Amino acid sequence: MTHPLAILSQRETNIARDIVRESHPGTVIDFREIFLNEPPKAELVEFLAIEHAGRLTPTTPRPPRRALCQYDVIGEDRIPQFHESIVDVVSRRRVKHTVVGKQHHASLTLSEFDVLVDRCMNSPLFQSALADFRLPDGFEVVIEPWPYGGLDETEENRRYFQGLCFARDTRSGNADTNFYSYPLPLIPVMDAHTQEIIRVDRPATGGKGDGLTEQTFKTDIIGHCKPSEYVPELLPEGTRKDLKPLNVLQPEGPSFKVTDESLVEWQRWRFRVAFNPREGATIHDVWYDGRSVMYRLAVSEMTVPYADPRPPFHRKQAFDFGDGGGGNMANNLSLGCDCLGVIKYFDAVITQADGSAQKLPNAICLHEQDNGIGWKHSNWRTGRAVVTRQRELVIQFIITLANYEYIFAYKFDQAGGITVESRATGILNVVNIDSGKASEYGNVVSGGVLAQNHQHIFCVRMDPAVDGVNNSVMVEESHPVPMNVTTNPHGNLYRVIKKTVDQATFMDADPKINRTIKMVNPHKLNPISGNPVGYKFIPMATQLLLADSRSVQARRAQFAQHHVWVTKHRDDELYAGGRYTLQSQKEVDGVADAVRRGDSVSDTDVVVWCTFGITHNPRVEDWPVMPVEIMQLTIRPADFFVANPAIDVPSSRNVSSQLVDSTCCREARI
């Protein structure tokens, strides 16, 4: 039988589509998403308890199997109305129906992007703006559709999209020439309901000393731009020849086991992998050696605000999970490219505009990797060294959002730790800058190409279940103590202060006092230390959102303004930046609102959110494709176990490793 956490199958998705259609006779339905509405936690926890007790039978009551359906209903007035329905795909009944208020916009779909491109190309307004420029022969215009960003206060809240424009050199006949190196200072804006290009914004192309809106461009707009290719066959000197293969071989196969489609077992870990169009891969029901650790773990949201103050660049602010869906944008991964070794791929299901399920093959990959030494000790008395390697299990997915890519990974290790990793790569979003100018808003990374300063701010949502659902959050800090005769006669003491968080709150990283967040079970004490069993993380002291708190950018992204948020669990409260981020004017029902409820969070079903990010003032080295910028949130056991859980990892010598031979090391002394 289907597990309650299994992603909706194509069959189930199509059932939901049919029910929605039947519920809205006489209308056209534009589907956006159909995906699993995860069971209410209370019901799922009950089911999981039976499952873990090994008492599941065919008659065990199961949580309902429901689809969350997001769609536009287009009636006779031709104005799309955004609806949400929850459909029970077993009983084939609609169990909930909401007409979402007009202040919110449904997430974007790629078909809207296609419409934008089409309408631009056919828009006299756009063509007339384009006529201000003279493109060299063989160059064609490329429109990069983008969400509109935050509305200005004076604007009517209609559904808009903007296009960032570039020119592509078609002369080589290669469809993958890099158009980002030829930016055009045109930003067409489309009203998505009327599908009309209503305006073409004309961003400035000036540099230091030029005004915010001053038009300084030349007709020969890309005459000072240069090719900057990244596909191997277009590199002037090809690829380097001196990199020898490095192969990862697992002759006895992997150490993991995947059963029941989503259940992963590896080195005493046991958890479920799921996927949804918004968050991409999610991790559920994490246990270690028969004890529960985490109910749910996911990357919840991210925002990328740009810092160029020249309008309309203030509208460049993506919410890459809420706007278009991190899952929708997931890459189809390839064997031997995105990871090495023995790899298990998971497929996903996404929704087409007509509501039909479409398989997204290889959306997630699962593999093991070696992460260097795990632990080592040498007894200098006897000369005996015991050294183990640290093996990790990696669940990875990669999303492409127009120019950028993000590689997300959940990594489980043998010492009971879980790391959430994000790697930012892809191509910088860039704009045109006049020849010879420099800018205080970014860096010139190629001729005529300004890469604007921006931030990438991520939020990871942790729903801990440390030996059970009811947990508390403790803040542990290490404080200096002034030298004094009574308690600190030699001045070396520092004091560890632990406090339980009583009420929903936010807080910031504070490395000066080594602020550490512990998710503990207050009812279960470690038999050795007497401390409550827990898992901990140190929030990374990275720069928070820089935009002025009164700005639309900041109002939309409150989650990006503090490093740690502690809330009480509510079903469906999964998204740090709120449920509807596309073109939002402020964060609604996001993590800040959840905190404002002021729930008691001690010894209850608590949720912890961790925000971290990169302030990305581009380097020339980030062009044309940037080397990965890696961020890691590491969650480690803290008195959860009675010893290092990796102590029994075998320390056997890897017999396939080799000494170098003399061909690479003349005069080698080994």
Task: Evaluate whether 67 touches 12 at the Cβ level (below 8 Å).
Answer: yes
Binding mask 201-220 for a second copy (x = CB under 8 A): -----------x--------
Rule CB under 8 A: is residue 235 a binding residue for a second copy? yes
**What's phi and psi for 597, nearest 5 deg?**
-60, -25
Q: Which residues pair with 142 in a beta bridge?
A: 166
Q: Is the CB of residue 57 less than 8 Å from the CB of residue 69?
A: no
Among 398, 431, 460, 517, indicate the residue that binds a second copy (CB under 8 A): 398
β partners of residue 464: 294
Locate all alpha helices (DSSP H) within 27-164, ordered by sequence.
41-52, 110-121, 124-130
Nearest to 350 by CA among 84, 14, 4: 14
Place of tokens 């990974």: 409
For the CB of residue 152, give the shortest distance to a second copy in the complex, in Å: 8
Q: Which two tokens stand for residue 430?
A: 């860039």
Query: For a second copy, which residue of 358, 487, 600, 604 counts as binding (CB under 8 A)?
Result: 487
What amino acid positions are annotated as catalytic residues? Answer: 320, 404
Residue 422 in the binding site for a second copy (CB under 8 A): no
- Please state whether the peptide bond connecting residue 311 to the residue before it is cis, i.e. omega within 30 degrees of 0: no
Could you tell me which stretch among 67-75, 118-126, 185-193, 390-398 binds a second copy (CB under 8 A)? 390-398
Per CB under 8 A, the segment of 125-133, 294-302, 312-320, 464-472 that binds a second copy is 312-320
Cα separations in angstroms, 573 against 38, 387, 435, 570, 614 = 11, 44, 49, 6, 25
Q: Which two tokens stand for residue 499?
A: 């406090």
Query: Does residue 372 touch a second copy according to CB under 8 A?
Result: yes
Question: Closest CB to a second copy among 59 and 663?
Answer: 663
Site for a second copy in 438-477 (CB under 8 A): 438, 440-441, 443-447, 453, 476
How many Å is the maximal CA-CA distance in the chain?
87
For the CB of residue 32, give the shortest distance to a second copy in the complex, in Å.
Answer: 18
- Compute the residue count for the chain: 670
Beta bridge partners of 661: none
How far, rounded to the nearest angstrom, does the alpha carbon of residue 510 sit from its chain's CA centroid? 24
Is residue 15 a contact point for a second copy (CB under 8 A)? no
What's the token pair of residue 509?
């990283």
**Which residues in 606-645 contact a second copy (CB under 8 A)?**
615, 617, 619-628, 636-645
Over the window 256 to 275, marking each residue x when it contacts a second copy by CB under 8 A and - when it does not, the resulting string is xxxxxx-----x--------
Nearer to a second copy, 411 or 579 (CB): 411
Residue 173 engages a second copy in binding (rule: CB under 8 A):
no
**Closer Cβ to a second copy, 19 or 167, answer by number:** 167
Rg (CA), the chain: 27
223 binds a second copy (CB under 8 A): no
**Cα 617 from chain centroid (whole Å):** 20
The answer to whether residue 415 forms part of the interface with a second copy (CB under 8 A) is yes
Residue 357 engages a second copy in binding (rule: CB under 8 A): no
Q: Looking only at residues 510 through 529 of this chain, which bind a second copy when binding is defined by CB under 8 A?
A: 511-514, 526, 528-529
Which letter does DSSP use for residue 210 in this model?
S
Neighbour tally for 75: CB within 10 Å: 12
Q: Does 624 sit behind a cis peptide bond, omega within 30 degrees of 0 on the bond before it?
A: yes
Does position 154 interact with a second copy (CB under 8 A)? The reply is: no
Six token digits for residue 465:
């279940």
Does residue number 663 form part of the binding site for a second copy (CB under 8 A)?
yes
Question: Does residue 382 interact with a second copy by CB under 8 A?
Answer: yes
Terminal CA-CA length for the chain: 60
Q: How far is the CB of 54 from a second copy (least distance, A)?
A: 18
Q: How far apart are CA 322 and CA 298, in angstroms?
A: 14
Q: Is residue 324 near a second copy by the rule CB under 8 A?
A: no
Range 238-257, binding a second copy (CB under 8 A) = 238-240, 242-257
Does the footprint of a second copy cover residue 112 (CB under 8 A)? no
- CA–CA dist 52, 372 (Å, integer): 33
Q: How far is the CB of 378 from a second copy (least distance, A)?
A: 4
Which of 341, 470, 570, 586 binds a second copy (CB under 8 A)? It is 341
Number of residues that bind a second copy (CB under 8 A): 187
Subset of 539-558 contacting a second copy (CB under 8 A): 541-544, 546-548, 550-554
The answer to whether 1 contacts a second copy (rule: CB under 8 A) is: no
Please name the amino acid found at residue 71. Y
351 binds a second copy (CB under 8 A): no
The residue type of 12 is E
Write each residue from 269 to 308 as x if it is in contact with a second copy (CB under 8 A), else as -, in one continuous string.
------------------------------------xxxx
